[in-house]
Chain A
Amino acid sequence: MRAPRSVLKQQFLKKWMMGLQVFGSAKQSMSILERKKAIKLSADIALASTRAGRTCWSRTIIADASKDDDGKVLVQHLLSPESERLKKASTGLAMENKRVRCKKILKRSCCIKRVRKGASKVVLAKSISKRIVKRRTQVLKSLVPGGEFMDDISLIEETLDYMVSLRAQVDVMRRSLAKATEVVNGK
């Protein structure tokens, strides 16, 4: 089980470093927060590129990142071999998401909630729990990038994959931080 996890991590690390080099060469002095943004952005894009094209969240991240200049440079740099296809997929995704979102808004506006009178306790409890679940799925959708446009089933799958990738990302970043502080302390 170790091997594929570290494969993922190594891939991520490599791409992350590539992305950071783009920044490193570009600007000389950056404020701490700019650096932080750069680090995080390159980490996110690197993470998304490890799953490039195959998961909705990765496509969403790439699509969002491509909207501004920094991100675009990074995306091109990191994903140059597959960038063409990905860009098309990302733009297509954006359009489709808008369509889905509009439909959902329309549906919601037309739907009339019927109030049940004299509902039994069991039914009431069920409806309450349903509401809770629905609210929490909405929160989850807001957390997972690109989650608002998916149905429940694919949402859960995306969450699975996203969680695994996030864990790998955290792990790699933590280790590199430890390394960096070691180096600094050693000096």
Chain B
Amino acid sequence: MINRALLPAGGGENMLHCTDMTVLERQRARIKWQQEQQQQFQLQQQEISYFTELADVFHQAGVHEGGLSEVVTRSVKPDPGLVDNGWNNDHVVGYGVGLPYNNGLGFELNYGAISRTSSCPPEAVAAVAEATVKGSESVVSDMISSGAGRESSKKRKVDKIQNNSKVVAEEDTRDKRIKGCAEQGESKITEKNNNKNSRNNNTNKNNNSNKENSDETSKDNSKVSEVQKPDYIHVRARRGQATDSHSLAERVRREKISERMKYLQDLVPGCDKITGKAGMLDEIINYVQSLQRQVEFLSMKLAAANPRLDFNVDNLFAKEAFPACSINFPTIGMSSDMTNPAYLQFNPAQQQLVACCGLDMGIDPPDMALKRTTSAPVSIPETFLDSSCFTQTHPPPTWDADLQNLYNVAFDQGRQTSFQTQPFTGDVKLSCLFLSALY
């Protein structure tokens, strides 16, 4: 709240220097500036606390979980001073449960999916929209029941807003009301979000059509903001843009997507400089693939290292960090190969391994198969093949079991023999493999 008090002052100073602008434009500019500041702050906070809440969220679910078919969304923050000027299109949904956070900013994230806490109206809006698709009644009932709970908190915030809104009194409201409707066709909880709403001539029309956008004419550049209410998110057309409902809905959708992309950008390493959906999607795909392959590889290694599936997990999270985990891997792999000679049998007919391993790691299978078959003696215990592939994007090496693949291919004639592997190192380049094979 302190920030907000300061912001107008700071912003106003800048603006007042330009004497050319009219009062209206000046105020508009100042508000935009405010908004940006808040947004930055908000985003920072969100980034920081995203993961804190990602897990927290799921622990606090108990209250609001009904038989919802839910999609977990991001961390949720309590609904701060409802959209100070009702502007920002981003709303972080707040729980009615009373989470400790209150950053006092009016920004919230708009979720496209149902979250557990259907008590949060923006979520509820989305939830309502989703409810029509998924047909879960409990969403609605939850909304209604929790709507009452939120009343008090909202009233408090409305007062706060009223105090602040005098600053921006001349500005119109930017409301975004998406008219969703619950499948059971009710939930006509139409609260007045801000006092600004009252200044509008908009009335909340209750109809049962999904996503009907109200078509307000606007004099100013209006952005989209979300109202803290269960049903409606009115979208205002921007200046100079088409006002039909389709393009408005499109725009809303696009903004949602880009906003979520931003989060992904923070999550995926090395994506700061990539703009645009296509590039981001590419990075995301690579990252998810590499993570999945790592899981495969690690489980294979674990199977190799532990013949009896017993794991001793005391002190697993002791604070001796594994800082150079990636660097230690090769040595660990080697040592495990050396010390586990006799336990491992090899089952040649493993189609699933072949299928699940990576695509193109630079080794030519037929050649390797040839090498193996020609030089392989019989009935020597085999140890696990090690392969590591250092991709350029991710600091931790990407492991995959491609060589294991090759072993499978090579011994696919149904031989039940097992072979001992011997360590030798290939050169480690960007896409190089670490082999250890002993004959």
Please tell me if B309 contacts chain A, counting CB pairs below 8 Å: yes
**A89 CA to B134 CA in the complex, in Å?**
12
B52 touches A181 (CB 8 A): no
- Binary flags per residue of B221-247, CB closer than 8 Å to A gives 1, else 0: 000000000000000000000000000
Question: A32 and B347 in contact (CB under 8 A), knowing A4-B55, A136-B285?
Answer: yes
A156 touches B261 (CB 8 A): yes
Among the 9-residue stretches A50-58, A67-75, A104-112, A113-121, the one with 4 or more Cβ atoms under 8 Å from chain B is A50-58
Our pick among B260, B302, B304 for the contact of A153 (Cβ within 8 Å) is: B260
B260 touches A157 (CB 8 A): yes
Chain B residue numbers with a CB within 8 Å of A144 are 288
Please tell me if A183 contacts chain B, counting CB pairs below 8 Å: yes
Please tell me if A94 contacts chain B, counting CB pairs below 8 Å: no
Please tell me if A43 contacts chain B, counting CB pairs below 8 Å: yes
Nearest Cβ on chain A to B419's Cβ, whole angstroms? 12
Please tell me if A139 contacts chain B, counting CB pairs below 8 Å: yes
Please tell me if B195 contacts chain A, counting CB pairs below 8 Å: no
**Minimal Cβ-Cβ distance residue in B for A137:** B281
**A181 CA to B263 CA in the complex, in Å?**
36
Chain B residue numbers with a CB within 8 Å of A51 are 58, 72
**A125 CA to B294 CA in the complex, in Å?**
36
| Beta-carbon contacts under 8 Å, B72-125 to A | 72-74, 111-113, 116
B51 touches A5 (CB 8 A): yes
Interface footprint category on B: 35 or more
| Beta-carbon contacts under 8 Å, A13-62 to B | 13, 17, 20, 23-24, 30-40, 43-44, 50-51, 53-56
**A24 CA to B306 CA in the complex, in Å?**
11
Residues of A within 8 A of B (CB): 1, 3-10, 13, 17, 20, 23-24, 30-40, 43-44, 50-51, 53-56, 85, 89, 92-93, 96, 129, 132-133, 136-137, 139-140, 143-144, 150-154, 156-164, 166-167, 169-170, 172-181, 183-185
Closest 10 CB pairs of A and B: A4-B55, A35-B303, A153-B112, A36-B303, A136-B281, A40-B299, A173-B298, A55-B72, A166-B291, A54-B72
25 contacts between A and B (CB under 8 A): A1-B48, A7-B59, A51-B58, A54-B72, A92-B69, A136-B282, A140-B284, A140-B285, A151-B112, A152-B257, A153-B113, A153-B260, A156-B261, A159-B284, A160-B264, A163-B264, A164-B54, A166-B288, A166-B295, A175-B316, A180-B312, A181-B305, A184-B306, A184-B336, A184-B340
